[in-house]
Structure 1
Amino acid sequence: MSLARRSLLAAPLLLPAAGARAEAPWPERPLRLIVPFPPGSTPDTTGRAVAAHLSRTLGQPCLVENRAGAGGNIGTDAVAKATDGHTIGLTINGPLSTAKALYPDLPYDPQRDLAMVSLLVRAAQMLVVHPDVPAQDLAGFVAHVRANPGKLAFGSVGSGSGGHLAMADLMARAGLEMLHVPYRGFPPATLDLVAGRIQAMVIVSAGILPQIREGRVRALAVTAERRIPQAPEVPTLAEAGFPDAASYAWNALIAPAAMPAARVARLAEEAGRALAEPQARAALEAGGFEVVASGPAEATRFVAAETARWSGLIARLGITAEA
């Protein structure tokens, strides 16, 4: 038998082996999307919009699992440690950009253990004060605090939270001295602000707009780069004399670092399509969020910049998660 004929006869025997080396279709079973916050939270709302779209387009169900605790660190850690190839997550600023600086024993490293899939949405925060504070604008507030060092208190939803850091940043820029009062969540902080037990707070705009419209608190500035449509009369920090101080609350889609780049890119593409759907976009915008879906590279650069900025502030001011 000729060598050529023996080669032809042997060729079919090689095909199964070659096929076995080809990557299997993905996902081959249901996806799990971990949201490290309770049902009804903004990350949960965003996550469910993305999960519903993925379920329709990827040929497998995408199931949302709420795993709250430790400011989002518990659920984010679960994503970082997942090895099944079918787990992704949706989290916020803290677990990705400030947790490592605030928690020395953080069980995961955001930059080493996670792949940034896409930045999804962001929301401006607002500096608001109780009506008894004799300031109609940010300049007046700065003057009032400077005239009363250490006598005014500001609240936040927790030490090291976005609102705490944004206020700490403003205080450092303006040379202000105020007492920080951390709370466990928005409701008690907002109640004490409305009651006048604290005088100021930086809070996500959607969480305080009803109180602003009712005259129970006064808005002095918005932390966005531009004025927001929900409160176009409120100037930005830059307009009020503090350039480069913009900050946002944001949500990002993440995956374990070992997830193949092609899958990460596909997830980013589909997440963008999910948030472009009119119903999802309208719901998020009604809640004060702006859709800013990005690709993996852009998300990675953004989170790296956020980490450098806020970790530097935390170190410079000696901020901890306990105080």
Structure 2
Amino acid sequence: MWRLVLIAVSTAAAFAASPFALGQSYPTKPIRMVVPFAPGGGSDISARILAEGLHQAMGQPVVVDNRAGAGSTIGTDIVAKASPDGYTTLLGNISMAFNPALYKKLPYDGLRDFTPISLVVDQPNVMVSHPSLSAKTLKEFIALARSAPGKLTYASAGVGSGTHLAMELLTLTLKVELVHVPYKGTGPSLTALLGNEISVFLSTFASALPHVKAGRLRAFGVTTTKRAKALPEVPTISEAGVPGYEYSTWYGILVPAGTRHAIVEKLNKTTVGLLNSPDLTQRYLAQGMEPIPSTSAEYAARLKAETEKWSKVVRAASIPQM
């Protein structure tokens, strides 16, 4: 009889420790979602919408932990060094693809030290100008820039920011010379443009939208490969005169490398289900973001491709490393 009891106990223990059982029982405590940027921005907004959905779907609180600093490297490093148990996640964004080229040394490897779960949303940018600028379309702006090299200016949210690199990609593609004027964030950049202090800005979509709708700014084109649902009359930059141009601020969820496959699968299935739901879709669209659920492999492939793409841009633009 004791032998039967021991067999039963051993079998139960083996099942409890199996990957299948771990995946079924996970999560059993709150999950931490590290956002490597300050509260209030696109990363924070996208994280909080997803965290609320995951809480409802998985039955455990998902706590958003903002750890800003050093171009997102501080918060990202926290997750890279966390226990790979599924209870510490990262809301990563396109800065993960920029930073290997922008920093001389990172404390983590963005491709090796994380397991992607799913892409979450794309946030297009929109190229905007002050209405007083003589160019009314992107083609007219390109012609104007070519006729007066070094005379037109563009704002960015800072050296090495997405708005900086995306404009460098545009100028390199077009072989035009614009003067870069860095500001400390999107807000100051928009203020300068509204005050007619600069020529153009590749603004985040949500920030520029009310000004475009009110006629305070003119939209030349959106940076994604498809037109934005909130501004369907505005062409993509690729359509408007720069074939093949594409840039978007994407966000995605990742966990430390070494996290069990069953946990990765459960997080992916739950996240994808939420992103396909009408409720989260509408909440994201209201913020100028479009859900882009993916497999883990698709996210990994995009991160690798974008890392290679932006490394070439940083080198070609001679942007100094930090």
Q: TM-score with structure 1 length normalisation?
A: 0.91
Aligned twin of 1:120 = 120
Q: How does 1:220-299 map to 2 (within 5 A)?
A: 220-299=220-299
Which of the numbers 6, 31, 44 marks the counterpart of 1:13?
6
Aligned twin of 2:139 = 139
Superposed CA offset, 1:68-121 (max 9, x none) = 222322111111111162101112110x21111101121111001111111010
Distance 1:286 1:272, change over 3 A: same
Amino acid across the alignment from 2:171: M
Larger radius of gyration: 1
Number of residue pairs matched by the alignment: 314
SS in 1 for 2:238: coil
- Do 2:84 and 2:256's aligned partners in 1 also have CA atoms closer than 8 Å? no
SS in 2 for 1:238: helix
SS in 2 for 1:99: helix
- Alpha-carbon RMSD: 1.9
Deviation for aligned residue 1:273: 2.2
Superposed CA offset, 1:242-275 (max 9, x none) = 2211111111001101111221121111112223
- Do 1:72 and 1:92's aligned partners in 2 also have CA atoms closer than 8 Å? no
Aligned twin of 2:79 = 79
- Do 1:159 and 1:320's aligned partners in 2 also have CA atoms closer than 8 Å? no
Give the Cα separation in 2 of the matches to 1:116 and 1:206: 26
Deviation for aligned residue 1:285: 0.3
Deviation for aligned residue 1:19: 3.8
- Do 1:125 and 1:249's aligned partners in 2 also have CA atoms closer than 8 Å? yes
- Do 1:124 and 1:223's aligned partners in 2 also have CA atoms closer than 8 Å? yes
SS in 2 for 1:239: helix
Give the Cα separation in 1 of the matches to 2:61 and 2:313: 41
SS in 2 for 1:288: coil
- Do 2:80 and 2:114's aligned partners in 1 also have CA atoms closer than 8 Å? yes
Unaligned runs of 5+ in 1: 1-7
Aligned twin of 1:110 = 110
Give the Cα separation in 1 of the matches to 2:205 and 2:53: 27
- Do 2:154 and 2:180's aligned partners in 1 also have CA atoms closer than 8 Å? yes
Amino acid across the alignment from 1:214: A
Give the Cα separation in 2 of the matches to 1:231 and 1:61: 35
- The answer to whether structure 1 residue 91 and structure 2 residue 78 are counterparts is no
- Do 2:84 and 2:258's aligned partners in 1 also have CA atoms closer than 8 Å? no
Superposed CA offset, 1:169-214 (max 9, x none) = 1111111111111111111110011112111111122211111222
Aligned twin of 2:202 = 202
- The answer to whether structure 1 residue 100 and structure 2 residue 100 are counterparts is yes
Give the Cα separation in 2 of the matches to 1:87 and 1:222: 34
Give the Cα separation in 2 of the matches to 1:200 and 1:237: 14
